[in-house]
Copies of this chain bind each other. A is one copy, B any other.
Amino acid sequence: MRVATDAPKDALSPVPLTAVTIEDRFWAPRLRVNREATIPHAYAQCEETGRIEAFRLAWRPGMEPRPHFFWDSDVAKWLEAACFALATHPDREHEALVERVVALIASAQQSDGYLNTYFTMVEPERRWTDLRDAHELYCAGHLIEAGVAHYAATGRRTLLDVVSRYADHIGGVFGRAPGQKRGYCGHEEIELALVKLHQATGDARYLNLARYFVDERGTTPYYFAVEAAERGTPGHFGGFMDHMRDSARYNQSHQPVREQDEAVGHSVRAMYLYSAMADLARADGDAALRAACDRLWQDVVGRHMYLTGGVGSSAANEGFTGDYDLPNETAYAETCATCGLVFWAHRMLHLDGDGRYADVMERALYNGVLSGVSLDGRRFFYANPLASLGGAHRQAWFGCACCPPNVARLLASLGAYVASQGAAEAAVHLYAQGSMRLNLAGEDVRLRQRTDYPWEGRVVFEVGLGRAVRFALRLRLPGWCRGPALRVNGEAQDLAACAARGYARIERVWVDGDRVELDLPMPVERVYAHPEVAADVGRVALQRGPLVYCLEGVDNAAHPVHRTLLPAGSPFAAAFEADTLGGVVVLTGSGASLDDDGFDARVPYRYGRPGLRTFPVRAVPYCLWDNREPGEMRVWLPEVQLG
């Protein structure tokens, strides 16, 4: 059934994280806070809550806190983030902590390779009996990702070997051979982790195991029914899952993945599964799997994605609902799911290099991912609503603490998303002042970006080369930009001729000191949602460059945000304000609201449209809301014609 095809000749590969530096005034301070505040904060939370201690395997029945079967994954994601930070910013103290945690995790491995604190201590008799709910392979996946990141950051195989042994153990338990369990995890994650383990070790068994988990999913007989029957007791989620109308759709096991064409169920699970599918489609040149990825991509970004890149609109299933069902106040848009969309988009981008994937990656990073963490790095949004009457605020931690370390590991590895390279081609996806070192046509190439992106749209690239070399430089032309312009060494380029699939492509013999200027005009744009998005009918949002803006109560105290309409066609001005939110471009323009004079206090309704008054409004980037006084916020505002 699988048709192997060659990967495209010009296939791009991700660049190593350490090949890129980011030295801008947008991301660099956030990445520093991520290293200096978020990662230590997350470690402290893991320690305080017993998650670190659990790896000592000292818990005994009756002791509090009782470990939870999620816990290993939180520590693993923290460790992965810590390793990424270590890779870009070596620090002896930080490294010592990483090594202590690595040693602690290694010490919890059982003699057969098994490594899960919960099922070693709390329910040892239930190992591998509740794949649907107990997150056992999910935790394994995160440990594997941590092992790969630790190896990449330090060159030390300590944890890589540990997780390889664990993966070997898992490979013995699961599969299609006689005596093996035909299972897969109720929370996808191990699939993409095994692909990474294959990339790090070169061992094809891990890719095979990833393929098995992906392809076995949703086949008949249905494994989660088989395991429930064998177990004879409710799963760990018990009644909760039984109340889910369809737990198979919840975890994307309702049909074989190659047949899926609709994003359903829990959104983080979906994003991780689709990421693994894209990995395997690329590794195997698997056209059928690729086609499934394309269908799912089109469904997710075309019908289920918020303007902010958030996906999974419903709290009830932490996931997908109907097409275009994108309510604002109740938007779930879990931070982890938006991180997952970045992971998936990055993989899709490496399948065919189309800028539309990078557009989504950028949309999610600058908006729905970054909103997940406060400016001080110590408070987090789990859900990311697009409107709030004032009740939504970041929290220091969560009982189910998936989001904080997820955003931490993504930010710590941001450099890896900036560019990709092929044999003789570099592609720049994200613009941020800094530099990158690539290897193109066998030569070391330095590319320096000078820009104030995303505050300004001008980006200058300086090429650093030992000797002249021919390669293609592809620069992304963001989907949000309506009039890009490009000069090479001062000479204007004809984008109609050199742009394709979202990138300008300049192939030439480059010499040291060559200079490329990309100009991405950034007017304030009024955004309209597809008419099928019922929640946004009659509404408008503001965007400038990649940043979605919002009105926040603290900036608009005189006129409550929930009452504010935007007059059609009235202009907005953009200006950088150094003292606002650490330095941001603020949008200023006119808002309007209905008079309440004509209302009888007896009833909040009246006939005939009340008069309108206009007043100044200020908008700030959505990703930075709730960093000042608590209050309300709104992205989509009703539009009104004056006069």
Contact = CB atoms under 8 A, between A and B. Distances in A.
A562 interface: yes
Given A389-B534, A530-B599, A605 B563 contact: no
Contacts of A638: 537-539, 638
A532 B604 contact: yes
B593 A307 contact: no
A532 B479 CA distance: 37
A305 B604 contact: yes
A95 interface: no
B538 A563 contact: no
Interface string A521-560: 0000111111111100111100100000000000000001
Number of copies: 2
A325 B530 CA distance: 26
Contact of A538 (B359, B565, B595): B565
Contacts of A537: 562-565, 593-594, 638
A541 B599 CA distance: 16
A604 B530 contact: yes
Interface stretch (A22-30, A134-142, A255-263, A606-614): A606-614
A: contact size bracket: 35 or more
A322 interface: yes
A364 to B, nearest CB: 12
Interface in A600-639: 601-610, 638-639
B526 A609 contact: yes
Given A537-B562, A538-B538, A538-B640, A324 B604 contact: yes
Contacts of A329: 327
A596 interface: yes
A330 interface: yes
A603 B301 contact: yes
A528 B565 contact: no
A66 interface: no
A35 interface: no
A639 B565 CA distance: 12
26 contacts: A298-B601, A302-B601, A302-B603, A302-B604, A356-B602, A359-B603, A479-B602, A525-B607, A526-B607, A527-B607, A528-B608, A529-B604, A530-B596, A530-B605, A531-B593, A531-B595, A532-B563, A537-B562, A537-B593, A537-B638, A538-B538, A538-B539, A538-B640, A543-B607, A638-B638, A640-B641
6 closest pairs, A vs B, by CB? A538-B638, A534-B562, A530-B604, A641-B641, A531-B594, A531-B563
Given A529-B605, A532-B563, 9 more contacts: A322-B389, A387-B534, A526-B608, A528-B607, A531-B594, A532-B604, A537-B563, A537-B565, A568-B609
